[in-house]
Amino acid sequence: MNLEDFELIYKNDRVEIKDKKKVKAKLIDILGEENVSDDEIDIFAYSRDTTLINTNWTLQGVLVSKPDFITWPETREQITGILKLANDEKIPVTPFAEGSGVVGGALAIHGGIILDMKKFNKILEINDTDLSVTVETGVNGMNLERYLNAKGYTGGHVPQSLYTSSVGGWIAHKAAGQFSTKYGKIEDIVMGMEVILPNGDIIEFKPIARASTGPQLDKFFIGNEGTLGIITKATLKIWPYPEKRGLISYAFPTIEDSLEATRHILRQQIYPAVMRIYDADETERHFGHIKEAKGKVMVVFVCEGVEKLVDLEVLITRETCEKFKGVDCGEEPVEHWFETRFKVTDTSSTPTFKLVFDTIEIGFLWDKAADMYHSVVEATKNVKGIVLITAHVSHFYPNGVGFYFTFAGVPPKGKGDFEFYQEVWNTIIKAVEDAGGSFGHHHGVGINRSKWMPVEWGKSFETIKAIKKLLDPNNILNPGKIYEDPWEKGGDN
């Protein structure tokens, strides 16, 4: 199958480059021949990220994005050069890191230039006194963590996509790792950054522990999804590699009991690095072999750090679980979690079985958490064609939680995969927004959630749109994301 055999279903606002030869020659001037491609094989490779509906589309011979050029800059000056050219010629530029994003953030839906950050992969400096590491942001997550571990540290940020994601992607999508309850989410970990603005200017937020020097503009670039600037360098917090790990698991009669137990652990200012609640269906799926957990809600914990503190954390975590009707299931479920925590083959192969499948992570405050869980499950079950809706809770705060829903279904007769996919997404997001939750916890907005941005942001959405306009008047940087609903005009016009 050749690239032209694929049907391009997303044509809204696609920028047609009049003189492609001229643009290619200019890109080669800036980057050198080896760092520019318009080969079919590269265009195809960069026409998708890991958004699951992409796999359904690929199997159906359909594309939503078809970039014109792929570039691999090696220096900041080259990035500046690409952005200046893009402004002159009004060509879209989409930053791309490892393409593990699951909401379509890195898809060049308006065409144009892909700016791949993989050659920005140097680990520049560890500062042991300050407990920080400075990196170029294209560095792969697992390469960084392995490097830190070998030197006696951990970065504390371990998303399930650790092997296939980069520091820049984490910052751009405001990611959260599996050990986040102790170490924080990426916005808690970033100490400083270098950013290249859409006009090519390079700005720097120097690494600090904290400052009171006006609004925190640096935070504004965390979660920008490649629409406000390209993050080229970052200084991140690191921690001494934990002396001890305590593995704990308890099964609870209901989701309510498990939520109460975990909430009370946090109220005592105990922060196990890992806390994960699996609803009864997910408990059956992941821990079906654990006798004590049959028909129950499994919770796994990992306490880690200095031995004496870990011992105390384990003691308080155990006491609290038992107070809320938890049944001790031992270390085995946690060991099983460690062994399988990066495995996604079951879920990523669902499109080959003609299933429409995805995950949606959302944020609730504690007082609404249990009710919200039930209303999302009920609302989703009512979508015709749904065969599975389950959840786990993987991110915890003293004030709230991040739920992670998984759905699968077969579109009913007369409905296409994407129509069904959007119906489920919209149903879940509506249930969350109606109850005052947040429709995205850590995967970002991309093309899946933009439609709901005005609802989530209210009047402040106008402010963020005005800032985008100010920084990027030609709308060259990752157009079609965050500030507009790319599907408003339908997919194919």
Beta carbon nearer to ligand FAD, 230 or 334:
230
Q: In the bound complex, what is the minimum distance in angstroms from residue 189's beta carbon to ligand FAD?
A: 12
Strand-by-strand arrangement of the 132-136 sheet = 123-127, 132-136, 230-237, 190-196, 202-205
Q: In the bound complex, what is the minimum distance in angstroms from residue 147's beta carbon to ligand FAD?
A: 17
Residues in the chain: 493
Beta carbon nearer to ligand FAD, 64 or 172:
172
Beta carbon nearer to ligand FAD, 252 or 278:
278
Beta carbon nearer to ligand FAD, 137 or 258:
137
Q: In the bound complex, what is the minimum distance in angstroms from residue 252's beta carbon to ligand FAD?
A: 23
To which residue do tokens 């806390």 refer?
275
C-alpha–C-alpha distance, residues 328 and 248, integer Å: 8
Name 450's Cβ contacts closer than 8 Å, sequence gap at least 6: 480, 481, 482, 483, 484, 485, 486
Beta carbon nearer to ligand FAD, 66 or 296:
66
If phi over 0 gives left and psi between -120 and 50 gives alpha, with beta otherwise, what is residue 305? left
Q: In the bound complex, what is the minimum distance in angstroms from residue 190's beta carbon to ligand FAD?
A: 12
C-alpha–C-alpha distance, residues 448 and 135, integer Å: 30
Q: In the bound complex, what is the minimum distance in angstroms from residue 133's beta carbon to ligand FAD?
A: 16
**Mutual angle of helices 255-267 and 366-381, in 10-degree steps:** 150
Q: In the bound complex, what is the minimum distance in angstroms from residue 185's beta carbon to ligand FAD?
A: 8
Q: In the bound complex, what is the minimum distance in angstroms from residue 278's beta carbon to ligand FAD?
A: 15
Tell me 459's DSSP state. T
- Exposure string over 454-483, b if 16+ CB within 10 A, otherwise e: eebeeeeeeebbeebeebbebbbbbbbbbb
Q: Which residues bind ligand FAD (CB under 6 A)?
A: 49-50, 94-102, 105-106, 117, 137, 159-161, 165-166, 168-170, 172-173, 175-176, 225-226, 230-231, 344, 442-444, 478
DSSP run (H or E) holding 160: none
Beta carbon nearer to ligand FAD, 320 or 406:
406
Give the pair of three-digit tokens for residue 348.
Answer: 């990523």
Q: Does residue 127 contact residue 71 with C-beta atoms inside 8 Å?
A: no
Beta carbon nearer to ligand FAD, 12 or 254:
12
